[in-house]
């Protein structure tokens, strides 16, 4: 009987061709998450197995790794009914439940007993060897899963939910626009969990924004380092362009034009860095610049994909996630960012494309946009420091 962490891929299993690549990157990410620990890792068609002396300690480190659907604390034994019964009894007792159901799958069709017979035999053994136990096929305390494969049998009673999604990086990379507020780190988290690697862009407009705002973003990314070990942060010097926008657009259109410029810059950086999309924390209707009408006008500057993971999230749901992942307390620090400092009293909620184009024609923004992209400062968040 050998103990292991049995990692189930979940969604990944449905992919045919790319499967090998996915499993490859998942194994790599798992090795990274367990860096510095003693363990060994084995891959087979359905699972990744982790062996080691302190599996219970390794488990929490794996719960944030994207691409893992479930993790089971499994016991391996030989293809022998007596051994299987004893292993099942051990796993069951360890789980601490008082009612159970045995479920069996049998990829190894050469095994003499069929799935149902295996379940029945093991169930009978448990009933007679674990006092006070009963079978409950509808809502058991413990589901004892038995997998009979070609070389071995895996039995487990304890399973933990993983982060889901796909292995980080296996889906490509996106450029995340990070203001420092509550929403954008949550959006970043959702993407990372899905398996999309991120680079981030932050717009700084000193002295209208505080240097502390950049520190805030850095601290947020350090929290997200749990999901992506090294994150590139591009800090765009936005002051000159922002002042020009303010001058050209006036109170009501300043935010709309600003968002269009930010989008252009983010797309420029994304293309340069080999990202396949940009991403934002926008939530439809939340503020004037995030009405559907505004998003329509802002999005018009590019055909590049813009992902908005929070588009349909309520603020309360977003805040809940932010608290869960530990970004909330950092996000509510009071420093100004580009989005809040120029907040006009009456921003337009239904911007008109004609007006926007007229304003943008009135000044040479392209050279300023290019300068922003060129002069963006790169910081690497995470890593060995």
Partner 1 sequence: MVYLDNAATSRPREEAIRAYEEVSLEHFGNPSSVHGAGYDAERYLRKARDGVLSSFAVSSTHKCVFTSGASEANNIFITGIAHRFHNRGNRLITSLAEHPSVLRCFLALKEEGYDVVLLPVGEKGAVAPEELAKAMNDKTILVSLMGVNNETGALSDLMGLRDVIRRFPKCFFHSDLTQAVGKLDEPFALLDAFTFSGHKIGSLKGSGALVYRKTIDLPPLLHGGEQEGGVRPGTVDVASAYALSVALALARKEERENGEKAALLRSKLVSYLLSRPDEFVINSPFESSPFLLSFSLLKKKAAVYVEGLSEKGIYVSSVSACSSKRENVSSVVLAMGLSKERAAHAVRVSFAPYNTLEDIDAFIKASDELLKGLINQR
Q: Which residues bind partner 1 (CB under 8 A)?
A: 206-212, 243, 246-247, 334-336, 340-343
**Nearer Cβ to partner 1 (112/207):** 207
Q: Which residue's CB is nearer to partner 1, number 47 or number 216? A: 216
Instruction: Name the residue nearer to partner 1 (CB basis): 162 or 181.
Output: 181
**Least spacing, CB of residue 256 vs partner 1, in Å:** 19
Nearer to partner 1, 53 or 212 (CB): 212
Neighbours of 176 (CB within 10 A): 31
Pick 11 or 247: Cβ nearer partner 1: 247
What is the DSSP secondary structure assignment for residue 138, as one 8-state letter?
A: S
CB of 50 to partner 1, least distance (A): 45
CB atoms within 10 A of CB 208: 17
Q: Cβ of 332: how many Cβ atoms within 10 Å?
A: 12
Concatenating the DSSP letter of every residue in 207-258 gives TTS-HHHHHHHHHHHHHHTTTSSEEEEEEEE-HHHHHHHHHHHHHHHHHHHH
Q: In the complex, what is the shortest distance from the CB of residue 171 to partner 1, in angstroms, rounded to a whole number?
A: 35
Q: Which is nearer to partner 1, 107 or 206 (CB)?
A: 206
Q: Report, in angstroms and rounded to the nearest whole number, the Rg of the chain calculated over CA atoms.
A: 26
Q: Is 83 helix (H, G, I), strand (E, B) or coil?
A: helix
Question: What are the E-state strand segments in the chain?
Answer: 2-8, 40-43, 47-51, 68-77, 99-105, 134-135, 142-148, 153-164, 173-177, 197-204, 230-237, 277-279, 306-307, 377-382
Nearer to partner 1, 343 or 366 (CB): 343
- Rounded to a whole number of angstroms, the minimum distance from the CB of residue 206 to partner 1 is 6
- SS3 label, residue 40: strand
Q: Which of 350, 8, 39, 301 is nearest to 156 (CA)?
A: 8
Report the distance separating Cα 346 and Cα 252, nearest Å.
6
The tally of CA atoms less than 13 A away on the side-chain side of residue 357 is 6
CA dihedral 178, 183, 185, 187 (to 10 degrees): -100
Kindly tell me which of 210 and 299 has the beta carbon lying closer to partner 1: 210
CB of 334 to partner 1, least distance (A): 4
State how far the Cα of 53 lies from the Cα of 57, in Å rounded to an integer: 9
CB-based contact 192:292 (threshold 8 Å): no
Instruction: Output the smallest distance, CB 248 to partner 1, in A.
Output: 12
Contacts of 384 (CB under 8 A, 6+ apart): none
142 within 8 A of 100, measured Cβ to Cβ: yes
Complex with partner 1: residue 76 or 337, whichever CB lies closer: 337
Quote the least distance from Cβ 336 to partner 1, whole Å.
5
CB of 198 to partner 1, least distance (A): 26
C-beta of 237 vs 382, nearer to partner 1: 237
Stretch (H or E) spanning 188 = helix 183-194
CB of 60 to partner 1, least distance (A): 35
* Nearest distance in Å: CB 212, partner 1: 7
């Amino acid at each position: 009987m050998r103990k292991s962490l049995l990692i189930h891929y979940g969604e990944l299993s449905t992919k045919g061709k790319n499967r090998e690549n996915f499993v490859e990157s998942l194994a790599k990410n798992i090795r990274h998450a367990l860096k510095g620990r003693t363990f060994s890792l084995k891959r087979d068609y359905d699972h990744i197995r982790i062996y080691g002396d302190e599996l219970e300690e390794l488990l929490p480190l794996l719960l944030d790794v994207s691409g893992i659907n479930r993790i089971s604390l499994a016991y391996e034994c030989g293809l022998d009914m007596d051994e299987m019964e004893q292993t099942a009894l051990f796993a069951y007792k360890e789980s601490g439940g008082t009612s159970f159901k045995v479920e069996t799958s049998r990829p190894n069709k050469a095994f003499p007993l069929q799935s149902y017979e295996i379940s029945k035999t093991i169930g009978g053994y448990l009933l007679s060897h674990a006092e006070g136990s009963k079978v409950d096929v509808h809502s058991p305390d413990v589901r004892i899963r038995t997998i009979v494969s070609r070389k071995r049998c895996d039995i487990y009673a304890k399973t933990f939910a993983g982060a889901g999604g796909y292995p980080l990086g296996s889906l490509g990379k996106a450029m995340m626009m990070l203001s420092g507020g509550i929403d954008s780190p949550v959006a970043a988290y959702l993407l990372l969990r899905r398996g999309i690697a991120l680079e981030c862009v932050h717009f700084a407009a000193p002295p209208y924004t505080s240097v502390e705002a950049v520190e805030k973003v850095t601290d947020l990314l350090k929290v997200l380092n749990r999901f992506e070990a090294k994150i590139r942060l591009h800090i765009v010097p936005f002051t000159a362009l922002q002042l020009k926008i303010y001058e050209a657009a006036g109170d009501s259109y300043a935010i709309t034009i600003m968002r269009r410029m930010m989008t252009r810059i983010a797309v420029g950086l994304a293309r340069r860095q080999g990202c396949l999309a940009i991403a934002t924390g926008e939530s439809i209707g939340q503020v004037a610049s995030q009405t559907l009408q505004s998003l329509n006008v802002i999005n018009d500057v590019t055909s590049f994909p813009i992902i908005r993971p929070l588009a349909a999230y309520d603020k309360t749901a977003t805040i809940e996630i932010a608290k869960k992942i530990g970004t909330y307390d950092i996000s509510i620090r009071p420093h100004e960012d580009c989005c809040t400092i120029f907040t006009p009293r009456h921003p337009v909620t239904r911007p008109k494309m004609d007006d926007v184009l007229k304003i943008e024609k009135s000044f040479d923004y392209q050279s300023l946009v290019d300068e922003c992209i060129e002069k963006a400062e790169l910081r690497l968040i995470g890593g060995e420091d």
